[in-house]
Homo-oligomer: A and B are copies of this chain.
Amino acid sequence: MGIPLDISSGPEDPQIHAGVAVIGGGVVGHGIAWEAQRSGRSVVLVDDAPGSGASWAAAGMLAPVSELHYQEEDLLELMLESSSLWPGFAAGVAAATGSDSGYLTTPTLAVGADAADRAALMDLRRVQQANGLEVEPLTVREARRREPLLSPGIACALDTPADHQVDPRRLVGAIRLALAGAAAWTPELAVEGAADGFAVQDRAAGLLWDGGKVAGVRLAGGGTIHATETVVANGLQAPGLGGLPDGLRLPLRPVHGDILRLAVPQHLRPLVTSTVRGLVHGLPVYIVPRQDGTVVIGATQREDALPDAVSAGGVYQLLRDAQALVPAVAELELLECTARARPATPDNAPLLGRVPLPAGSGAHIPGLIIATGFFRHGVLLTPAAAAICRDLLDGTADPRWSPFSPDRFSRPLAATGTHIKETA
């Protein structure tokens, strides 16, 4: 591995050579690119609007415990693995850049608004406990001693100390710095960074094939990235990529979320010291405190929306339910309403790994890794996705992650030698 970067940039058709090309500059793509780079590979990250997709809206909760859903134990294992990797990952980013990634071990308080919400949270606690997770009920009085601005009308509170947070916008910025060295991003330059890591501000048009293997990326702007390995990490845009293997079905659907950012006036700081994850008459809402005196309130899940359109009903619901838990939310300054779509899969788990050749052969399409479909868990799963991809680049695959094989929703891939689906 470790092909040195080589840019022969003719005006018409720049040719870039790298060890690894990562398509998609969200938090997952950044994490994979950086992990590949620090494992000794030269890396190119391709995105025409890095960090502006689902990562831009994400609240950054690192919440394997709270995010446990019934019958998603495989996903739980991956989430716990990634959670355990987070401290080292964040420290690595900080050490590489001198820049804080916004990682905080803020504890989480799960709060139910009414008796039905309490029952739902207590039912979930049984599953959480069966999986060895720590979730401890507090009395309302105890919860309000810890968070005095919680409404006295809440029905229950459960301490969930293992669920933490990171600021995804700071994180992407910090990884970007780590990836590109100290080179600052300038929009005039299509390429930033130098030496062994940089980013191309362009859209990937499709995969470049060389015989039966993927050999890089064709750029929409006309250039080509020649790479030993290519990672498809561009979220909802992955299925639209040209040259995907014939028969590979990436069944992603957009699940929109509205998220609010608010400033806490000085006299109300801190509004909360824990992340408050509420269930309010059956609807989830969370309040994530940041160190800069702001809070993030999210997040709706809508499947019938215009791209990036903020829903008036969604904003209303978030403000209503957040006030039900913390009435002083009414006193905050509303700084920003943002909506983005997250890439969801039929089983809520990512499409992560190499693409197997026809069943039984045991081999994979060389040069290609898929890493998309992270849905609500992209930020939490970034260190695990990065580590899993690094292992795949090294030629090893942990069987624990085989349930996330990207071909699990595909008909058996064609047995012929041609794997190229020309859709671009």
**A interface with B by C-beta (< 8 Å):** 260, 262-263, 265, 306, 309-313, 315-316, 319-320, 323, 329-335, 337
Contact = CB atoms under 8 A, between A and B. Distances in A.
Contact of A306 (B260, B313, B323, B333): B333
Given A306-B333, A310-B333, A311-B334, 20 more contacts: A263-B309, A265-B306, A311-B330, A311-B331, A312-B319, A312-B329, A312-B330, A312-B331, A312-B332, A312-B333, A312-B334, A313-B319, A313-B329, A313-B332, A315-B319, A316-B316, A316-B320, A316-B323, A320-B320, A334-B337
Contacts of A312: 260, 262, 319, 329-334
Which among A262, A311, A329 has the highest number of chain B CB atoms within 10 Å? Answer: A311
Contacts of A265: 306
Nearest to A316: B319
Nearest to A304: B331
List the 9 closest pairs (A to B, CB-CB), nearest first: A313-B330, A316-B319, A309-B333, A310-B334, A312-B332, A312-B334, A315-B334, A262-B312, A312-B329
A303 B311 CA distance: 28
Which among A320, A323, A333 has the highest number of chain B CB atoms within 10 Å? Answer: A333
A280 to B, nearest CB: 14
Contacts of A309: 263, 333
A315 B331 CA distance: 11
Contacts of A262: 312
Contacts of A306: 265, 333
A331 B313 contact: yes
24 contacts: A260-B312, A263-B309, A306-B333, A310-B333, A310-B335, A311-B330, A311-B331, A312-B319, A312-B330, A312-B332, A312-B333, A312-B334, A313-B319, A313-B323, A313-B330, A313-B331, A315-B315, A315-B334, A316-B316, A316-B320, A316-B323, A316-B330, A334-B337, A337-B337
A333 B331 CA distance: 24
Contacts of A316: 316, 319-320, 323, 330
A143 to B, nearest CB: 22
Nearest to A313: B330
Copies in the complex: 2
A312 B337 CA distance: 11
A289 to B, nearest CB: 15
A364 to B, nearest CB: 43
A398 to B, nearest CB: 43
Contacts of A260: 312
A331 to B, nearest CB: 6
Which among A329, A333, A334 has the highest number of chain B CB atoms within 10 Å? Answer: A334
Contacts of A333: 306, 309-312
Nearest to A315: B334
A313 B323 CA distance: 9
Contacts of A332: 311-313
A311 to B, nearest CB: 7
Nearest to A317: B330
Nearest to A322: B312
A47 B331 CA distance: 32
